[in-house]
Amino acid sequence: MSNVFKVEIINPEKSFLLKEDVSEVVVPAYEGDMGILKDHIPIISFLKPGLLRVIDKAFVEETYYVEDGIIEFKNNCLSILTSNIFDIKKMDRNKIKDILSEAEKDSQNNNISDQAKYLADQKIEVLRSLTLN
């Protein structure tokens, strides 16, 4: 019996990823990192800045950085809509530093909302962990 499901990641530019042989996806949801397996209950959730991990049936893991988005899981199909997603392996170190610098600037702004500060701090934490590797 197969334990795989379909995942589709879409950003404004294109269909970023489509895989039909996924065994697990870990998403950075507001509730915390959420693991999704085949036959997970239907769910809709929001993404916060973090790492999204896609693991296929051969246990090959792909890791992506996402800044925001929405996920929906139903009928063993995970749809992820996001405005910004980057493949960690292909992400330029200078791009990481630029996004980190912008997030640090945003976090220092006293005129932003608590939610915007929280999101900026999340970006900073994740991006710093990427620059340390």
- In this predicted structure, what is the pLDDT of residue 91? 82
Q: What token pair was written down for 127?
A: 């991006």
pLDDT at 19: 96
> For the domain that residue 9 is a member of, what is the CATH number?
2.60.15.10
Retrieve residue 27's tokens: 């998403």
Please check whether residues 19 and 71 belong to one and the same domain. yes
3-state helix, strand, coil split of the chain in percent (to 5) is: 30, 45, 25
Q: How high is the pLDDT of residue 95?
A: 84
In this structure, the answer to whether residues 81 and 97 fall within a common structural domain is no
In tens digits, the chain (133 residues) has pLDDT values of: 589 999 999 998 889 999 999 999 999 998 899 999 999 999 999 999 999 999 999 999 999 999 999 999 999 999 999 998 999 888 888 888 888 898 899 889 888 899 888 889 999 999 888 876 5
Asked if 83 and 97 sit in the same domain, the reply is: no
Count the neighbouring beta carbons within 10 Å of the beta carbon of residue 72. Answer: 13
How confident is the model at residue 132, as a pLDDT?
A: 65
Token reading at 128: 């710093």
Asked if 43 and 105 sit in the same domain, the reply is no
Classify 27 as helix, strand or coil: strand
**Domain extent for 99:** 92-132
Q: Are residues 71 and 96 in the same domain?
A: no
Q: Are residues 96 and 55 in the same domain?
A: no
